[in-house]
Amino acid sequence: GIRYNLTLHDNHNTRVFGIDNAHAIKTPRKGKFSGRVVYDHQHDSPTDKGSPYEFHSAYQLVEDFFTRIDEVIRKRENRG
């Protein structure tokens, strides 16, 4: 498999967005067995613990990352 960790940080070095597979995330449980362990995930804010990300290919990963950081930068610039 491929290990990856793509992040966007602000001028205070705080992560504002990221996609990685560095650690497992806890998925919502319905009963005792929660299914497979999810490692591929994204962080949508500095405090976000992660939500699942569907990895397809390295190319798609990079494309998804740059699409999302363009959105994040645009939103942050509009906040002024």
What is d(CA 73, CA 22) in angstroms, rounded to the nearest whole number?
24
What is d(CA 61, CA 80) in angstroms, rounded to the nearest whole number?
29
Residues of the domain holding 32: 5-79
- Specify the pLDDT at position 33: 57
pLDDT at 14 over 90: yes
Give the chain's domain count: 1
Give the mean pLDDT of 28-49: 79
Q: How confident is the model at residue 35 (pLDDT cuts 50, 70, 90)?
A: low
Q: How confident is the model at residue 31 (pLDDT cuts 50, 70, 90)?
A: low
Whether 17 contacts 44, CB under 8 Å: yes
pTM for this model (two decimals): 0.81
